[in-house]
Amino acid sequence: MMELRRLRYFLVVSEELHFGRAAVRLHMSQPPLTRQISALEAELGFRLFDRSTRNVSLTAEGQHSLPYARSVLEQVDLTKAISAKLATGSSGHLALGYASSIALSEVFSRSIQAFCSACPDVQLTLEEGASSGQWTQLAEGRLDIGISRMHPPGDNPQVQAICLDNEPLVAAVPSDSPLAQQLQVSLAELGELPLITFPPDYGSGLNEIILGLYRHHGLTPRPAPSGRQITSIIALVAAGRGVAVVPQCTRTLVRRGVSYLPLAEPGACAPLLLLTRRHERSPLVRAFVEVIEQTLRGGLSG
C-alpha cells in the first residue's frame, strides 16, 4: 500500500526541485528523503525526477502524476477535517422534531439560531409533528432529537425525556366574548363554551395536558371543531367557534378577533421536554443539548 507521506515528499521536492531545500522544509535530512523518493519511484515503476549533480527536474511521468498526488492529499486532508468536525458535533446532519406549539417558543427559535451560528456546517432538518409520533421516529432513528409536550410512555425504554421548562397556559377567547373583558379566566368559565383542541387521533401532548386539567377540576369539555396546527386552532377561535387553552408563547400569534387571558388556576403549565434516544448521544445531539441548555440559562422563556 502506498504511503501518503511519500506523496507529500514528492510534492515538496516537486515544488523546490532541490532535495536539500525540500529536506529542510520537511524537517529531515537529505539522505532519508532521497531514499523515500526512490522507494516511491520503485513502487510506481517509473522515475519521477531527473537528477544530476546540479539540477533536479520532473520527468514527463512525474509531471503527469503531480496533479493526481496533490488531489489525493487534498482529499485526505479534507477527510481529516470533516472527521474532526463530526467528532466534535460541528458537522453532519441533525433531524429535529417539534410539536406545533413549540415553534412559537422563544427558547426554540433562539436555540435554533444559536446552534446554527455555533455549527454552521451542520445540515439541520426540522420536522413538525405530534408529540406521540416523535417517540417512534426517535426509536427508529428517523429523528435525532424531539422537542415535545408529552412524556414517552413507561413501556418505551428507548426514549428519554429531559424537562427543560414549564410554560404557563393561557386561554384564547373570541374578542367579542364577555370573557375577553376580564383580567383572567377560570377553567369553569371556559367549560361553558366549546373547547377547540387538536384532533383526538393526532397524538398531541398539549391535548393530554388540557384534558387532564379539565378532568382534575371535574369538567367535561364541550365539543368543538379541531385543528391540526396551533395556527388553525387560533383561527377557529377568531371565527367564534369556541375557546382554546394554549401555551403562553401562542400570544405571539396576534390575530384580530382573539384575546389571550391568564388562567385563574395556579400551576396550569405545559412542559417543554427534550427527547433523545436513551443509550445514544451523538456529538451532534450533545452539541444541540448544550446550546438549548445555555439558551435557558440565559433567561429566555417561551
What digits encode the pLDDT tens for the residues 138-149?
A: 988 899 999 998
Q: Is the pLDDT of residue 267 over 90?
A: no
| pLDDT, average across residues 65-92 | 74
Measure CA 235 to chain center.
Answer: 29
Percent of the chain with pLDDT over 90: 51
In terms of domains, do 183 and 260 share one? Answer: yes
Q: Is the pLDDT of residue 53 over 60?
A: yes
Asked, for residue 56, whether it belongs to a domain, the answer is yes
| Total length of the chain | 302
Q: Which residue among 88, 122, 138 closes a domain?
A: 88
> Letter for the amino acid at 99?
A
User: Rounded CA gap, 187 and 219, in Å?
Assistant: 8
Which residue range is the domain that position 232 belongs to? 166-269
185 DSSP β-pair partners: 263
In terms of domains, do 148 and 101 share one? Answer: yes
Asked, for residue 144, whether it belongs to a domain, the answer is yes
Task: Give the SS3 label for residue 296.
Answer: helix
Asked, for residue 288, whether it belongs to a domain, the answer is yes
In terms of domains, do 149 and 288 share one? Answer: yes
For the chain, what is the mean pLDDT? Answer: 88
Closest CA to 238 of 258, 252, 253, 223: 258
Q: Is the pLDDT of residue 155 over 80?
A: no
Which residues touch 259 (CB under 8 Å, ≥6 apart)? 172, 173, 174, 175, 177, 179, 180
Place 302 in a pLDDT band, splitting at 50, 70 and 90. Answer: very low
In terms of domains, do 160 and 285 share one? Answer: yes
| pLDDT, average across residues 239-245 | 96
Domain count, the chain: 3
Task: Give the SS3 label for residue 260.
Answer: strand
Higher pLDDT, 155 or 237: 237
Asked, for residue 302, whether it belongs to a domain, the answer is no
| pLDDT, average across residues 178-188 | 95
Q: Is the pLDDT of residue 276 over 60?
A: yes
In terms of domains, do 33 and 153 share one? Answer: no
